[in-house]
Chain A
């Protein structure tokens, strides 16, 4: 069968390990993950849209979701795990309440992004990639937000902020992590 046909006519597979076999706690999320997969199953190559949708709902991709997604899409767990770990966007643990990402690409470097990274690490007391102890903020890096004429750029949640200097960065961090900033 050709790949496009196969994409449209996946057979359900019953031999794979299910989520409960994998020792997942009894949560409402197993049927929810299955429902999300069902919403996207008609698409060609649906794995990325499915993973995005699961993460949008739960905030991250719990390890227990991998066998559920694999089973529903007739993929191996290794296939799904491989995709989850390949892409920067997919998180395997819950992030802080707000994700703050600082652009580290060249155009922002040209206007001081390197100093902003150290400033954020100092202010929050965590390294790049870390989460504050109170769970308020996860600090991340990003390579280009497409705001290269108005850098340095920072993304707070989904909100893009341009021309961020140190003072502006402190104000942004104070907003999302009151008390966490030192």
Chain B
């Protein structure tokens, strides 16, 4: 064949596959063959413009050109119109790197996601992979910890605890072996960044864990991935095998005779394992029942040994911190929220996906700017930030900046960065009830306020909504407030103590939805 093969990129991300990316890849192979053209279809992660999936990119002399959303039935027309030469087409979006959605972001954690073949060692190295680890290994462990502390990086799992402080505690704690555990039990509704990262750039996570291992003197790591993510488990496991083959993991991973071993563990459908101590129980082979703290896992974690427990996004933020230095990372963000945060736009939103930007962006800029409002075209009524334990924000609060402390000041939280949009058809009493129902379903059962309080919460909300008189409703509201107080004050972990957040925010900002049959015609 005269012309060289054309490289076409089609995501293998689970979200893209859920709307037909595999069929599109197959159709591209078929149509190219029919047209007598040689193509090389590379499966990448997703760029995170999920409303445009399947998003196809074609390598041209002047960069990658994007087309989307491409259905399998669009492929013959696209190939006929010159897709393989980057020709114009109604589905054409122009050069991928110049898409406004991407251009307006600062991608550090997601820098390679959607760009590279997730399992290509060559791609990873060609795009800056291992440069953070190389610099870290040239430094003393305490200096690596100091660098992470200086960057201002805080835990992205939800609690926002400074990563460097946690690492220093592990480094200074006695005991061996020590462990690095990555919590990839991303159970919050509205969050999918961990999944996309593991499917799109799994070597980045391995690099982050190696740096953590070096920094705290750990020789073993676990990634605890939820079972609801079969694609992520498959890709990450393949990446771990490839990393062993490269010698990045194993006997001399951190230098001669300084091993680091890594194992992928699969969860079993328990939301509570997003909580670090219950995840450790699960890793040890037990019921995932929350542990009382102290001792914190940094002192007595997995099998009672000093253990770093970090979220996927925290660990993948570490290589850029080391590669570019703490000041570069610290220069981004606002107040005590430094660096970038990977926001995830979901629910009833026109343009959902990944938005990695410095802290400080407002909820409105995310929902209306990046998100383009609702998918239904109706007005936005509520935005739940931070997962099922996060508050529902009304329209009036959408100008809040995304900053740990600013959100805490209004009784909300950033959580894992999930932003779920609801239009004006939402029934906020039903959402409050669901928060309690979810807590009842997922409580580990250790604390009575969480285990029983959530069941009572569902019942009380039902009574409030069904109340025939104001007195009946008000009695229910008093009881619900009191119940929320008990849950907040009497639960060991965030499951019981934060479930009142969505409930109370719904009550505070949308009281009319709790008026029930007296006002509803």
Contacts and interface: CB of A to CB of B under 8 A. Distances in A.
A11 interface: no
Contacts of B53: 150
B190 A107 contact: yes
Contacts of A82: 286-287
B189 A143 contact: yes
Contact of B344 (A2, A51, A106, A148): A148
B195 interface: yes
B420 interface: yes
A44 B286 contact: no
A178 to B, nearest CB: 22
Contacts of A67: none
Contacts of B500: none
Interface in A36-74: 43-49, 51-52, 73
Counting chain B CB atoms within 10 Å of each CB, the highest count among A52, A79, A90, A109 belongs to A109
Contacts of B18: 147, 150, 153, 160-163
Contacts of B282: 48
A171 interface: no
Contacts of B50: 149-150
B7 interface: no
A122 interface: no
Given A87-B268, A88-B269, A160-B18, A147 B192 contact: yes
Interface in B434-482: 434, 438, 441-442
B516 interface: no
A155 B189 CA distance: 15
Contacts of A160: 14-15, 17-18, 231
B106 interface: no
A26 interface: no
Contact of A43 (B192, B263, B345): B263
A111 B348 contact: yes
Contacts of A158: 230
A49 B265 contact: yes
Interface in A89-113: 89-90, 105-111
B384 A146 contact: no
Counting chain B CB atoms within 10 Å of each CB, the highest count among A7, A48, A158, A161 belongs to A48
B136 interface: no
Interface of B: 14-15, 17-19, 50-51, 53, 177, 186-192, 195, 227-231, 263, 265-271, 282-288, 302-305, 344-349, 352-353, 375-376, 384, 388, 418, 420-423, 426, 431, 434, 438, 441-442
7 contacts: A48-B268, A51-B268, A106-B347, A106-B388, A110-B426, A143-B189, A148-B346
Given A48-B267, A110-B346, 10 more contacts: A4-B305, A48-B282, A52-B227, A87-B268, A105-B189, A106-B420, A109-B431, A110-B426, A111-B347, A149-B192
